Amino acid sequence: MTLQHFFSESTSNELKQLKSSQQVLLEENQNLTNLNNKLSSDKSNLTSVSMALKNNITTLTAENHNLTSLNEELKEQKKNLTEIIKNMEETWDGLNVSRAQWSIDAYCPKTNAGRSCNNCQKGWNHKLSSCYAFNDAPPSSQLTWEDAREICKQMISDLTVVSNQAEKDFVQTQSPVQSGINGYWIGLRAVGVKWKWTDGSDLTNQ
DSSP string, 16-76: HHHHHHHHHHHHHHHHHHHHHHHHHHHHHHHHHHHHHHHHHHHHHHHHHHHHHHHHHHHHH
- Alpha helix ranges (H) inside 108-154: 145-154
Longest dimension (CA), the chain: 164
For the chain, 206 residues long, the average pLDDT of each consecutive 10-residue run is 51 78 86 88 88 90 91 90 85 72 72 77 85 83 90 89 88 72 83 90 81
Q: Are 122 and 155 in contact (CB under 8 A)?
A: no
- First-to-last alpha carbon distance for the chain, in angstroms, is 150
In sequence order, the 6+-apart residues with CB closer than 8 A to the CB of 23 are none
What are the residue ranges spanned by the domains of the chain? Answer: 1-90, 121-197
**Of 111, 29, 186, residue with least CA distance to 196:** 186
Cα separations in angstroms, 10 against 4, 5, 24, 160: 10, 9, 21, 134
Contact status, residue 135 vs residue 155, Cβ threshold 8 Å:
no
CA distance 106 to 117: 9
What's the confidence (pLDDT) of residue 13? 74
Distance between CA atoms of residues 197 and 201, nearest Å = 5
- The predicted pLDDT at position 160 comes to 92
CATH of domain 121-197: 3.10.100.10
Calpha distance 182→33 (Å, rounded): 113
User: Distance between CA 67 and CA 61 in Å, rounded?
Assistant: 10
Alpha helices (runs of H) in the chain, residue ranges in sequence order: 2-107, 145-154, 165-172
